[in-house]
Structure formats: C-alpha cells, structure tokens
C-alpha cells in the first residue's frame, strides 16, 4: 500500500514540473505555492493517519516526510534533466550550475558583486552566456541597443514587478501603461521645468560647498555628504520639502533604511521571486521592514503633496487626475504611489553613486582638475546648460558614467516573438536577456584602454572609441531614463563648483582603492568609502 503512495509521489513531482511549473510565470505566486504545499503536506499527513487506522502520529509524520521528499526529489530531478539536456538554451555556453538554477547566481553574488561575476563570465565564455535556466547575458557593444533601442521587440522582465501592486512608468511591464504615463515624466523634466529646477539645484550645490568649507582641513566622508546632498535635492524638486540635511548635518531615517534594504536586494536582484516571497512571508524581518519603510516614505510624501506647488509631484498629481476614466481609483492610487517610489529611488540613489565616483576621479587625477578649472572660467558655473558646452567637463562626466554606471547590471528584458539576433546567433523567443552595463562599457572591442580614465576620448581623441553604441549609462530608445537631464544638471553643477572652490586630496591613511574594493551592485551602484580633504582655494 505504501509502495503505491511512493510511486504516486514520484509521479506527482514529475507531473508538477512538466504540466504546471514549466509553463508561464510564477514569481508573483511563490507565497501561494509555499503555503499550498504546506497545506498539501498537512492534508497528506491526515490522510495517511486515517488510512493507517490512526496508528501513531509520529509514524504517519515519518511517512509523510518520505513522500514529500520523494515528490521534491522527482520535481527537482525532472527540472534539472530538462534544463541541462532538453532546454532550447542547452547549446549556449555558461556554467552548468547556472543552467540548473538561479540559486547558483544568488550564491555567487551573495556579497553584491554581480558586476565582477559578469566580467569574469565574459572572459571565460564570450559575448553570449547562459546565466540562468531561461536566461542569456549579452556582453556585446550593441547589447543595450538590441534590448532597448528603437525597433526592439523585447519586453520588460519580471524584475519590473518588484513594486507590485504599485506601478509606475518604470516599474510596469505593460507597454500601454508605459505610454499612458510617460507624458507626466516628460513634462516634469522638460526644458521649461528644468529651468526652474536648475535654480533649486544650484541652491543646494551652494549649500554643499558651504558645508565643505566649514570642515576646514578635516577628513570628509564623501559618501555621507553626497547622500545628504542628493536627498535634499530630491526632496526639494520632487516634494517641495526642505530637509536641509547639509546645513544641519542631519541624517534622515530614509537614508538609514536604504542603507540596510539595498544589501538585501543586491544578491537577489536577478531573482525577484525570492524578494516577493520574503515580502509576503517574512514582513517582520528587519531588512524587509527597511524596504517597506523606503516605499512607505515615498507614498506618505506624495499623499501629503496635494496642494499646488511647482515641483515634479505637481505633474504626477495632474496626471493622476487626468487618468480618471482610463483607470479605476485603486489603480490610479497604486500608480501614483509607485511613481513616487520610482522618483525617490531613481532621483537620489543613481545620482549619488555618480557624484561619489566623480569626486574620486577628481581626487585621483589632479591633471584633469587643472583642465576643468581653466575651462569653467569661461562660463557661468551656475548654469548647467552653459557648462554642457565645455568639452572636457562633458568628457569627464561621460568617462565617470562609463567606468561606474549608476545601474551596473541594467534592466532585464524578454525576447520577442521572433527572438533576438546577435551577430550569427539567434536567441529564441521568450528568453530573459540582460546587458550588464558595467561589463559592456568596459569592452576592449568598444574602447581602447577600456579600464583607463581618459575624458579626452569623448572630444579630442575619438580614435579611443571603437564602438560608441556600447556607451549608454541611461539606456537608449523609448526606455531611456527620463531623469537624464536632471542627473546631468546635478553632475555638471557639482563638479564645476567643487573644482572652482576646492583643492581635493584623499584623506591621510585612506586607500584610494577602497571605493572599488568595496563597490556593491545593489539595484544601483553603491561605491565603497571615499574619504577626502577639501581645502578651500584662495581665489
């Protein structure tokens, strides 16, 4: 009798894989699957206890455990066999364990070093690497354009469901929803809006310089002071809120929660079903609570911002009202909340990493500082548009973004109905594809001396760029980051102000390679510690 149950358990495992789990997407249903299997185990225990005439509960539990173990073994064996030998990606090069399960990937990047893993895999396996059961990583000069360029038939991967049920123009997989809501972002960061915002950014840049001047020749934690600056800018431009962290040397709880939440997301960034499971089943865990605080902060601030003011939220709230009749109230509320979360994270964290890297490069290469200082004397350093005409400054910023892109791994996509052609290889339809920007923008097939910081390659030495398509820190096409104008304005204004007012040196006993050695890939780039001394120039 028990032998029949064993056969049935094994058959059930094989059936579950081939008839159920091999089809469709399950990332949003993981909690239900876990709870469903728990319920099934308890039901099986009760059934065995009843069919065995209520023999000891311990004996029934032992039999149930054996059956459940056999079910899981059959399920996993079926998955492994299929993925290694019969999957349509079985002919692509890559680590065998990566083909079996994404758990291999999670373990390899447990210290948030996906950018290093991708670089290493490219050296070992080439431009196309199988990095998951149904996943190909493309490290090729055209990769970003293939995924996001005009005419691309790819769609967004399950990663963009990370805020579900909330959504935004970025965190949505619906092309229609993206089109319906893109206009508000375009207006919020239009030339007209940016002229108003540039004045605000300049105000905060002055606050940054004043803060540094008060430090004298003391060691400055660049990571913290840039975090304060970008948070102040984001709160002002997005919500018309003045936290004045720089002038008061304050520290907002959001920054502390972000510091703890992102290390949780880093290793599972490419395996979002783990995140959804943790959000549902372990909401009491501190790292998950930190994530919830980040999102709730954004939601609370957008709800408070209902009175008319000139900021980005005004455009999003206007969009909220215009969508009445297109989406129901619940969906509009979730969209507004998701938009706020997107704007806060994208508006502060991405610029933060670029500014920290820019300070590091300014300190590491004083020769470029001298060129920048001479160059900015010819324009108004409070005008980002005027600064944008300076070739060495633009080259300096471009090289900073190339060597340390704010989003090092990039967004994942799913190939369209005709697949994706990369040179002579066709990636089948319905496959997850990624183009990690950190690795792509350091390709020696795209840049001469790709690991060297050479701003001149962007204006006076174009021969050092072999394939400009590899450079896309803000992506390209219809999916290009709409926040690019604001990011460039902040970078231009801050770099120009620091060069104008300070001579920068690394702090005594500080190892400059710390920034790279401790660099983490946690949704956005998280540079390691940068400690500097800012000495005011005598002008």
Domains of the chain: 2-86 (no CATH), 156-536 (1.10.630.10)
In this prediction, residue 200 carries a pLDDT of: 92
Centre a 10 Å sphere on the Cβ of residue 256 and count the other Cβ atoms it contains: 12
* 3-state SS assignment for residue 504: strand
- Burial-class residue 463 by CB neighbours within 10 Å (0-12, 13-18, 19+): exposed
**3-state DSSP of 248-286:** HCCCCHHHHHHHHHHHHHCCCCCCHHHHHHHHHHCCCCH
Q: What is the DSSP string of 25-55?
A: --TTSHHHHHHHHHHHHHHHHHHHHHHTTS-
- Cα separation values, 207 from 85, 203, 233, 252, 365, Å: 61, 6, 11, 17, 25
Q: What is the dihedral of CA 347, 161, 436, 471, to 10 degrees?
A: -50
Neighbour-count burial of 422, counting CB atoms closer than 10 A to its CB (0-12 exposed, 13-18 middle, 19+ buried)? middle
- pLDDT values of the chain reduced to their tens digit, one per residue, 539 residues: 678 889 999 999 999 999 999 999 999 998 899 999 999 999 888 888 787 766 778 888 888 899 999 999 999 999 999 999 999 999 999 999 999 999 999 999 999 999 999 999 999 999 999 999 999 999 999 999 999 999 899 999 999 898 888 888 788 888 888 888 888 888 888 888 889 889 999 999 999 999 999 988 899 999 999 999 999 999 898 888 888 899 888 898 888 998 888 888 899 988 989 988 999 889 999 999 998 898 888 878 777 765 555 566 666 777 767 777 667 777 777 777 787 777 777 777 889 999 999 999 999 999 999 999 999 999 999 999 999 999 999 999 999 999 999 999 978 999 999 999 999 999 999 999 999 999 999 999 999 999 999 999 999 999 999 999 999 999 998 888 888 999 999 999 999 999 999 999 999 999 999 999 999 999 899 999 999 999 999 76
- pLDDT, position 309: 59
State the pLDDT at residue 308.
Answer: 56
Residue 494: its pLDDT value, please?
98
pLDDT of residue 539: 62
Q: Is 416 helix (H, G, I), strand (E, B) or coil?
A: coil
**Rounded Cα gap, residues 517 and 50, in angstroms:** 60
Q: What is the pLDDT of residue 385?
A: 96
Instruction: Output the pLDDT for position 305.
Output: 66
Tell me the C-alpha distance between 189 and 483, whole Å.
Answer: 7
pLDDT at 408: 94
CA–CA separation, 394 vs 386, rounded Å? 11
d(CA 225, CA 232): 11
Q: What is the pLDDT of residue 538?
A: 79
The encoded tokens of residue 242 equal: 């003045």
**Residue 230 in contact with residue 355, Cβ under 8 Å?**
yes
Q: Do residues 506 and 512 lie in contact, with contact meaning Cβ atoms separated by under 8 Å? A: yes
d(CA 198, CA 237): 10
pLDDT of residue 177: 83
Q: Give me the sign of the Cα torsion angle 273, 278, 280, 281.
A: positive
Q: What are phi and psi of 422, to 5 degrees?
A: -125, 105
How many angstroms separate the CA atoms of 65 and 42, rounded?
Answer: 10
pLDDT at 529: 98
């Amino acid at each position: 009798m028990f032998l029949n149950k064993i056969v049935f358990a094994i058959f059930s495992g094989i059936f579950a894989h081939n008839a159920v789990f091999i089809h469709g997407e399950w990332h949003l249903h993981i909690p239900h699957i876990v709870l469903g299997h728990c319920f099934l185990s308890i039901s099986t225990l009760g059934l065995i206890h009843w069919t065995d005439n209520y023999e000891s509960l311990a004996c029934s539990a032992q039999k149930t455990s054996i059956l459940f173990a056999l079910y899981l073994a059959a399920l996993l064996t079926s998955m492994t066999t299929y993925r290694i030998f019969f999957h349509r990606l079985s002919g692509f090069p890559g680590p065998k364990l990566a083909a079996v399960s994404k758990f291999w990937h999670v373990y390899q990047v447990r210290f948030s070093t996906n950018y290093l893993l991708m670089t290493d895999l490219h050296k070992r396996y080439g431009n196309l690497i199988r990095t998951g059961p149904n996943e190909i990583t493309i490290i090729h000069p055209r990769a970003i354009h293939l995924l996001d360029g005009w005419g691309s038939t790819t769609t967004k991967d399950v990663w963009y469901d990370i805020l579900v049920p909330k959504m935004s123009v970025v965190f949505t997989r619906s092309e229609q929803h993206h089109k319906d809501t893109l206009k508000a972002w375009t207006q919020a960061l239009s030339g007209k809006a940016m002229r108003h915002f540039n004045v605000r950014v300049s105000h905060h840049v002055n606050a940054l310089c004043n803060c540094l001047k008060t430090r004298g020749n003391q060691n400055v934690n660049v990571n913290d002071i840039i975090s304060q600056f970008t948070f102040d800018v984001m709160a002002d431009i997005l919500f018309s809120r003045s936290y004045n962290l720089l002038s008061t040397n304050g520290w907002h709880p959001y920054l502390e929660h972000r510091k703890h939440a992102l290390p949780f997301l880093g290793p599972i960034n490419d395996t979002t079903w783990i995140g959804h499971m943790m959000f549902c089943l372990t909401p009491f865990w501190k790292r998950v609570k930190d994530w919830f605080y980040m999102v709730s902060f954004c939601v609370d601030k957008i709800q408070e911002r209902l009175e008319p003011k000139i900021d980005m939220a005004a455009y999003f709230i206007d969009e909220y009202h215009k969508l009445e009749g297109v989406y129901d109230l619940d969906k509009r509320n979730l969209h507004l909340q998701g938009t706020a979360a997107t704007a806060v994270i994208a508006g502060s964290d991405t610029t933060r990493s670029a500014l920290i890297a820019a300070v590091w490069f300014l300190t590491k290469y004083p020769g470029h500082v001298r060129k920048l200082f001479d160059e900015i004397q010819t324009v108004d350093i409070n005008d980002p548009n005027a600064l944008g005409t300076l070739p060495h400054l633009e080259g300096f910023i471009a090289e900073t973004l190339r060597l340390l892109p704010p989003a090092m791994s990039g967004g994942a996509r799913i190939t369209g109905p005709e697949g994706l052609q990369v040179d002579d290889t066709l990636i089948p339809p319905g496959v997850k594809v990624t183009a990690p920007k950190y690795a792509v923008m350091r390709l020696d097939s795209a840049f001469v001396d790709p690991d060297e910081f050479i701003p001149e390659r962007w204006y006076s030495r174009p021969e050092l760029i072999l394939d400009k398509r590899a450079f896309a820190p803000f992506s390209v096409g219809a999916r290009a980051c709409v926040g690019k104008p604001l990011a460039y304005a902040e970078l231009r204004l801050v770099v120009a102000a620091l060069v104008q007012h300070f001579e920068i040196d690394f702090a005594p006993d500080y190892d400059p390679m710390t920034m790279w050695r401790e660099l983490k890939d946690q949704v956005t780039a998280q540079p390691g510690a940068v400690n500097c001394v800012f000495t005011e120039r005598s002008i």
